[in-house]
Structure 1
Amino acid sequence: MVEGLRPEQLRTYFALMESVSLLHHAVEQQLQEEGGLRYVQFQLLARLTDAGGPLTMTELADGVVYSRSGLTHQAGLLAKAGLVTRGPSPDDQRATLVTITDTGSALVARVMPGHVDVARDLLFAPLSEQDLHALDDIIGRVRDHMRARPPRSAAPRKRRTAQPTAGTDE
């Protein structure tokens, strides 16, 4: 028999998941209303802004919790909208470099104040400075523990196995 979580672990787990869901919903709504962006698109643009230069798709995938194919699709949508450019890496023919455009940078600058307001209002408003330091320490340790595993982009891709078709003896 598998042992379940202790009551305080279960309460903490559900409180964290509900808090993350509520914050994520508010952030998604703000980004959509002010910039026509999905959260993952904002993450990509913000990471590119912070990087100060191009990043490979692998570097973006390591920083954003999203599937490789989904990330490629989102980068394609951003490129089509003129917010990023994609091109081959001069150092590695297999790598694709993604660079934020001036239009993309301007969009990040436009939505960032509202994004900060949502985070300040929902996440930080109920916390004292002591609470903030404690939360920073705790969440940092949890994130580092989760990130200690190999990044999703480094995980081998699952190969599809051929399934027998109807009417065969396989």
Structure 2
Amino acid sequence: MPETKPSLDPVELSAYFAFTEVSSLIRHAVEQQLMQAGQLSYVQFQILARLGDSPRGSQRMTDLADGVVYSRSGLTHQAGLLEKAGLVTRAPSVDDERSVTLTITHAGRSVLADVFPGHIEVLKTLFFAPLSHQDVGALAESLTAVRDHLRATPPRSAAPRRRKTDR
């Protein structure tokens, strides 16, 4: 019996290519705006925005890595750069002595306030402008379903660390 290779129908293929191209184009525009307005990389902005949005202005670094879909070591490096710039502080977690908590500073909130107007303008102009409010709602619903499906599997940063002897 011949094996059938997995394939995408034309609509699926079109949706996938449109999504990847839009994602790349928007990210490039956002990265340029963040660098010009606040000397922030995309990941640094994500970190600051998540901290700024959290009730205490703090999160465990592992949770941040999961949220921004970034490696633990990469997040540690970015946190170090943000800390050096005075935008965050790092401290042992009060809930788990093995964890480190990152907290946004007043300077970090100030940088967010500086970059947000331009960030919002880029999104409104490049992403939302060609869509109706109804289209945006449908897109949000569709992407939320995909995100929730992807998040049902724990992110790589939540997986147990492999020891050198395990390799």
Q: Give the conservation status (yes or no) of the 8 Å contact 2:60–2:100.
A: yes
- Whether 1:120 aligns to 2:104 is no
User: Secondary structure of the equivalent of 1:37?
Assistant: coil
Give the alignment of 1:38-117 within 5 angstroms.
Answer: 38-53=41-56, 54-117=58-121
Q: Deviations over 1:56-87 (max 9, x none)?
A: 11121121111111011000100011000001
For residues 91 and 159 of structure 1, do their structure 2 counterparts lie closer, same or farther at Cα, with a shift above 3 Å needed?
Answer: closer
Check whether the contact 2:87–2:105 (CA below 8 A) recurs between aligned residues: yes
8 Å contact kept, 2:30–2:122: yes
- Aligned counterparts of 1:88 and 1:162: Cα–Cα separation in 2: 28
Match of 1:153 in 2: 157
Task: Provide the residue aligned with 2:147 in structure 1.
Answer: 143
Cα separation, 2, equivalents of 1:150 and 1:162: 20
Q: Does 1:30 align with 2:26?
A: no
Secondary structure in structure 2 of the residue aligned to 1:126 = coil
Q: For 1:84 and 1:160, how far apart are their aligned partners in 2?
A: 32
User: 1:90: Cα distance to partner?
Assistant: 2.4
Number of equivalent positions:
163
Correspondent of 1:16 among 15, 19, 43: 19
Question: What is the TM-score of this pair, normalised by structure 2?
Answer: 0.92
Query: How far off is 1:136 after superposition?
Result: 1.1
Query: 1:58 corresponds to which letter in structure 2?
Result: T
Rounded to whole Å, the distance in 2 between the matches of 1:52 and 1:44 is 14
Q: What percentage of residue pairs aligned between the two structures are identical?
A: 60
SS across alignment from 1:87:
strand
| Alignment TM-score, normalising by the size of structure 1 | 0.90
Deviation (angstroms), 1:156: 2.4
- Structure 2: gaps of 5 or more residues: none
Where structure 1 has 5 or more consecutive residues not aligned to the other structure, the ranges are: 164-170
